[in-house]
Structure formats: C-alpha cells, structure tokens
Amino acid sequence: MERAERAQFTEPIPASTQGRVGFLLGKLTGGTKALAARLGVSQRTVQRYRAGTVTRPRAAAREALQDETCEHWQEDVRAQVREHAATSGGLTISTRARFGFDAGAGTSDDPRMRQLTQRVSPTHAAAILAAREAGAGEDELTGLVAEVLADAYFRTAGPGTVDLRVAMSDVEYIDFAFH
C-alpha cells in the first residue's frame, strides 16, 4: 500500500541528505534531538547532516532517513489519493497466494496457488484503507483482502457462490494500485 501511495507523489522527495533532514525538521516536532532518535544517530550527526558537512549517512541511517522522509512527504497528496479511492476510484489488488474455499455440499475446491489482479470497488477500498489507518495487523489486513477478493472475484461466478467462504494463505505478494 505504501508503494502505491508513493507512486502518486506529484514531486520527487528531496534527493540530498541535507534536503531530507531540512524537510523533516520542518515537519516534525522536537528538533534535531527527536530526529536523531528516529534515525538512530546522535543529535550532532543530525546537525552535520543539516549543515551539509556529512552528506553520506551510514546505511542504516540512510534507510531510516529515506523511510521517514517518504512517510511525511506530500501528506495532502496521500490523503487525496485515499479519499478518491474510497469514494469513487477504488483499488486494483494484485496477489499471488493460496486460495481455498468452503462452499455448499457437493463442491470440491481444494486450496491452490492463484495469481489474481482484480479491481475492487470504492466501498472495498474504503474498508481496507480504514483498517490500515486504524492500525490493523498484517493478519487482519490479509483476512480483509481475502474477503474483498471473495466479493469482487470469487462470488461473482453465479448463484451458488453467494455463501462461498474464501481463505487466503501462503501469500507471496500483495500489491495495490490506486485509481
């Protein structure tokens, strides 16, 4: 989901360490000390980044700086993208996972690996985004995605699929795209 949101940015994030630190110091409260704690470096190191005397952070700090910058970059754009998906645009979910079914008597749908790409309604998108915003864990989100895919893909095959229960496991990947 994070990757899909980043794909909607209208401007690239600052490329330099100095630019990223300057951006974060303007966004976050607590100054250089708080940013240093978030990055796992000393306050003096953050001050050096801001001054431009250190331009190449160590790998862990560079990754943390990238993640923090992306998390706070263009928050208004992210909010607009989420709102559009939840009200009119929907999402496309691509996944490769094992899907199994519990259906009516006389059916035999053993779990098997499937690769699906399915556009889902704004209502389904809103449910996924709300759960993510509420801090749902990975298992809860996976279950929700399984339920959404059940509605959007598996339960549309005919009248016998209305009560179909879908289980999703062995997830290799789940990818989202906003519309």
More confident residue, 12 or 103: 12
- Distance (Å) of CA 2 to CA 72, 127, 151, 176: 12, 16, 24, 9
Burial class (CB in 10 A: 0-12, 13-18, 19+), 114: middle
* Residue 146 contacts residue 168 (beta carbons within 8 Å): yes
Intervals of CATH 1.10.260.40 along the chain: 2-73
- Alpha-helical runs (H) found in 87-121: none
Dist. CA 128–CA 142, nearest whole Å: 10
Six token digits for residue 123: 């209502």
pTM, two decimals, is 0.74
Chain segment 133-157, per-residue pLDDT in tens = 999 999 999 999 999 998 898 887 6
| pLDDT tens figures, 11-29 | 999 999 999 999 999 999 9
**Going by CATH, does the domain composed of 2-73 fall within 1.10.260.40?**
yes
